[in-house]
Amino acid sequence: MKNILITGGAGFIGSHVVRLFVNTFTKDKIYNLDALTYAGNLENLKDIENSPNYEFIQADIQDLALLQTVFKEKNITHVVHLAAESHVDRSITDPLAFVKTNVIGTANLLQTAKEYWKDDFSDNLFYHVSTDEVYGSLGDTGFFYEDTAYDPRSPYSASKASSDHFVRAYHHTYGLPIVISNCSNNYGPNHFPEKLIPLMINNIIHNKPLPIYGEGLNVRDWLYVIDHARAIERIFSGGKLGETYNIGGHNEWSNIDLVNVLCDAMDAKLNRTQGESRKLITYVKDRAGHDLRYAIDATKLKDELGWEPSLQFEEGIKKTIDWYLSNKSWLENVTSGEYTSYYTNMYK
């Protein structure tokens, strides 16, 4: 029986991973360790919180002693590490928070796993969930491959790149059994409305300006979050130790084209005249150091583990909009309190 520690399981992607693991690995125990920062929300897991193979632990990965206690008390055998500060804009205003959680927090987990597993790693795995942003920024053509050189350009991506290096260093130096995946932009239910898609959906609902950075020509490769969770499960179960897998949607959109699609779909849903929401689009000051384009080549994952995205973008966007419109109280809860001052400072 495995005792699987998932970190950051109350967040956006983590909550979908926790649900999938609880429902898939029914004979194993899933521990969700999360500090419940502004981005963590146990509401995301209401449907599985009473499952017999699930337990929540509130803890901060910056707290080494607490991690040691958790590993010992729960006899942790496997780690799926998602806990992180995840928003690029916040990393520009508060970079050290990203060093503390993403770099030191990851190093704490690695060291705890190494010490607790006592160098006999036969039944263990440390799975580190990372981002395509570590590879830097692409021009108009080309893709990120697993062997693309690292070139992080924001404090967020630098902290994730650093954590990836620590994970690989523990593999090469101590033999810690690791896998890493680097994924493109996710979207879907439970996405915190500081990120592009849920922020736009929330603002369209409230007839608020839609802030597009720069000229809106930056390109992202969007993947439905449940497809990311499926990829993580596949890599957890069958990935080769020491390897890296890229995960992506083969679904590139410039920000302005994407926001236009959202506006039109929301107009239809909200019975507004077509074109009404597009009038809310407002071009604002560009993000500092804004990466132009990300695009993932996920051939390795398809060839080795048979994973492919299951949803077309049109269907994923429809499901996402439907989810936000049916979960207005979730949106209201997360956009009260700290969010109000964040939003005012960010978009003043």
**Cα distance between residue 1 and residue 8, in whole Å:** 22
Residue 290 beta carbon to ligand DAU: minimum distance, rounded to whole angstroms:
6
| 212, interface contact from ligand NAD, ligand DAU, none, CB < 5-8 Å by kind | ligand DAU
Site string for ligand DAU, 60-89 (x = CB under 6 A): --------------------------xxx-
Catalytic residue among 54, 156, 224, 245: 156
Residue 295 beta carbon to ligand DAU: minimum distance, rounded to whole angstroms:
10
User: Using the rule CB under 6 A, which residue among 84, 103, 196, 235 binds ligand NAD?
Assistant: 84
Burial label for 300, CB within 10 Å (0-12, 13-18, 19+), is middle
Cα–Cα nearest to 24, from 329, 193, 234, 243: 234
**Cα distance between residue 217 and residue 260, in whole Å:** 12
Is residue 132 among the annotated active site residues?
A: yes
Residues in region 190-219 near ligand DAU by CB under 6 A: 195-196, 199, 211-213, 218
User: Using the rule CB under 6 A, which residue among 71, 117, 135, 192 binds ligand NAD?
Assistant: 192
Q: Is 294 in the site for ligand DAU (CB under 6 A)?
A: yes
| 211, interface contact from ligand NAD, ligand DAU, none, CB < 5-8 Å by kind | ligand DAU
Q: How many binding residues for ligand NAD (CB under 6 A)?
A: 30
Nearer to ligand NAD, 91 or 277 (CB): 91
CA distances (Å), 17 to each of 51, 133, 227, in order? 15, 21, 10
Residue 236 beta carbon to ligand DAU: minimum distance, rounded to whole angstroms:
19
Catalytic residue among 132, 164, 221, 227: 132
Residue 61 beta carbon to ligand NAD: minimum distance, rounded to whole angstroms:
4
For the record, the structure tokens of 307 come out as 């994973």
Q: Give Cβ neighbours of residue 284 (< 8 Å, ≥ 6 apart).
A: 211, 212, 213, 347
DSSP alpha helix (H) spans, the chain: 12-24, 64-74, 88-93, 95-98, 106-117, 155-174, 196-205, 225-238, 255-269, 299-305, 313-326, 328-334, 338-346
Site string for ligand DAU, 26-65 (x = CB under 6 A): ----------------------------------------
Cα–Cα nearest to 255, from 209, 290, 218: 218
| 4, interface contact from ligand NAD, ligand DAU, none, CB < 5-8 Å by kind | none
Cα–Cα nearest to 177, from 185, 187, 186, 167: 167
Residues in region 92-151 near ligand DAU by CB under 6 A: 131-133
Catalytic residue among 85, 133, 164, 291: 133
Q: Give Cβ neighbours of residue 261 (< 8 Å, ≥ 6 apart).
A: 253, 317
Q: Cα–Cα–Cα angle for 342, 345, 348, nearest 5°?
A: 135
> Measured in whole angstroms, how far is the alpha carbon of residue 24 from the centre of its chain?
20
Is residue 156 among the annotated active site residues?
A: yes
User: Using the rule CB under 6 A, which residue among 153, 269, 278, 287 binds ligand DAU?
Assistant: 287
Q: Is 11 in the site for ligand NAD (CB under 6 A)?
A: yes
b/e map 97-136, b = 16+ CB within 10 Å: ebbbbbbbbbbbbbbbbbebbeeebeebbbbbbbbbbbbb
Are 193 and 199 a contacting pair, CB within 8 Å? yes
Q: Where on the chain is the footprint of ligand NAD (CB under 6 A)?
A: 7-8, 10-14, 34-37, 39-40, 60-62, 82-86, 101, 105, 129, 131, 160, 183, 185-186, 192
Q: Where on the chain is the footprint of ligand DAU (CB under 6 A)?
A: 86-88, 131-133, 184-185, 195-196, 199, 211-213, 218, 220, 255, 287, 294
